[in-house]
């Protein structure tokens, strides 16, 4: 936390508006998270149009609006920032769609990917449509996402068992009783972004987002990016 106050707080303030603007550009370039591209904006517009026609509770037909970004087997598309939706529990996928629809996720102005997904989730006609599309995704099965991070797996294992395993389960398989989702087999680059968003107040900042809020508090305990990479590499190593 101190690092961020130091880095983004006082020195930036003292530097004046032009340097602050330049710094903001440099920092956003460094984050490697440029936000939705023209391609994904177009896919979003098409998805919203397809869903707005409304009325369908056929999960497969509804999922047609998701394919452009999440892929026809829900394998995800990194270039568009859209994660694989496989290996995730149906209750978790459902809650996320509900959170987007309620404006509890994807409302922070710096969360450009979340905002994009929120707009699409809100175009799903009703709860029955949410249930149907989730049931379709859950039935797709499929392999775990490929690892893209290379951290120290052994060090990650120690941190994971001390800080994460109690909620996410010993094999990162998720714990239904605590409503903590599976992390093994989910895209590591996506988990990294979500973790950073929890930590930096872009996700789970609203107490009404009960489970997101819990994770946001938790995320403040580990702010070292190198250790986080280790933890996520360890989680990836657990995937089938």
Interaction between residue 238 and ligand HEC (CB under 6 A) = no
Q: Under rule CB under 6 A, which residues in 21-80 are in contact with ligand HEC?
A: 40, 43-44, 47, 62, 65-66, 68-70, 80
> Strand, coil or helix: what is 225?
helix
Restricted to residues 206-225, the positions that interact with ligand HEC (CB under 6 A) are: 211-212, 214-215, 218, 222
185 near ligand HEC, rule: CB under 6 A: no
Q: Which two tokens stand for residue 75?
A: 């394998």
Q: CB of 104: closest distance to ligand HEC in angstroms?
A: 9
**CA 153 to CA 230: how far, in whole Å?**
6
Q: Which of residues 81-140 bind ligand HEC (CB under 6 A)?
A: 81-83, 85, 88, 93, 95-97, 106, 113-114, 116-117, 120, 124, 133
CB neighbour list of residue 235: distance below 8 Å, 6 or more residues apart: 156, 160, 172, 183, 184, 188, 191
What are the residue ranges of helices labelled H in the chain? 2-4, 10-14, 17-30, 38-52, 59-63, 67-70, 90-101, 112-123, 127-138, 153-163, 165-168, 188-199, 210-219, 225-237
- Interaction site with ligand HEC (CB under 6 A): 40, 43-44, 47, 62, 65-66, 68-70, 80-83, 85, 88, 93, 95-97, 106, 113-114, 116-117, 120, 124, 133, 163-164, 166-168, 178-181, 183, 186, 191, 193-195, 204, 211-212, 214-215, 218, 222, 231
């Amino acid at each position: 936390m101190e690092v961020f106050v130091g880095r983004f707080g006082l020195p930036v303030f003292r530097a004046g508006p032009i340097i602050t603007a330049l710094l903001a550009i440099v920092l956003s370039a460094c984050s490697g998270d440029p936000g939705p591209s023209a391609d994904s904006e177009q896919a979003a517009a098409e998805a919203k149009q397809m869903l707005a026609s409304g009325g369908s509770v056929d999960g497969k037909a509804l999922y047609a609006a998701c394919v452009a970004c999440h892929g026809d087997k829900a394998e995800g598309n990194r270039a568009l920032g859209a994660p694989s939706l496989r290996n995730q529990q149906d209750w978790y996928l459902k809650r996320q769609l509900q959170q987007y629809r309620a404006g509890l996720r994807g409302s922070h102005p710096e969360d450009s990917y979340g905002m994009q997904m929120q707009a699409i989730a809100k175009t799903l006609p009703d709860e029955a449509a949410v249930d149907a599309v989730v049931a379709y995704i859950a039935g797709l099965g499929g392999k775990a996402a490929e690892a893209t991070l290379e951290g120290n797996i052994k060090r990650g294992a120690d941190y994971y068992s001390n800080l994460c395993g109690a909620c996410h389960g010993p094999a990162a398989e998720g714990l239904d009783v605590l409503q903590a989702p599976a992390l093994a087999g989910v895209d590591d680059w996506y988990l990294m972004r979500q973790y950073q968003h929890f930590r930096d107040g872009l996700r789970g900042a609203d107490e009404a987002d009960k489970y997101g809020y819990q994770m946001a508090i938790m995320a403040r305990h580990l702010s070292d990016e190198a250790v986080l990479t280790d933890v996520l590499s360890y989680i990836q190593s657990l995937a089938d």
